Amino acid sequence: MVATISVCLQIIVRYCPLKTIRDVYSKITLLLLNGSVLRLSETGDMEVPEWPSMSKALSESLIRRDDEAFSAEFRRMTEMHFVITKQKLLEIGIEGIETIVDPVKQEDQKVNSKE
């Protein structure tokens, strides 16, 4: 999944019309590639439960040039990657990981507090 996230970030860097976003995403791509906290050679492959449907949806959104669908699927994929990475870090015993709030849960809390 890291490779796919990297490709998606590179697509944004290459095709986004806004220079600031291109610059920010190019930095994020470098950090992801060079600074990932998990080395798959040390931790093993991570299972991605919804990978077939996610990869199909990403491919179809690119073929259709549907930026909204691409954005939604990319967000879903990065949120899932965050949760899987956090779980893997918990499993290998990294201290303090449990205090990191999942972005999805944090957004849900904001929405619920406004109601």
pLDDT bracket for residue 110 (50, 70, 90): low
Please, are residues 77 and 5 in contact by the beta-carbon 8 Å criterion?
Answer: yes
Domain chopping of the chain, boundaries: 2-106
Q: Whats the size of the chain, residue-wise?
A: 115
Alpha helices for 1-115 (secondary structure H): 2-15, 19-35, 40-43, 51-64, 67-91, 103-114
Over residues 69-95, the pLDDT tens digits come to 999 998 988 888 888 888 888 888 888
- In this prediction the pTM is 0.67
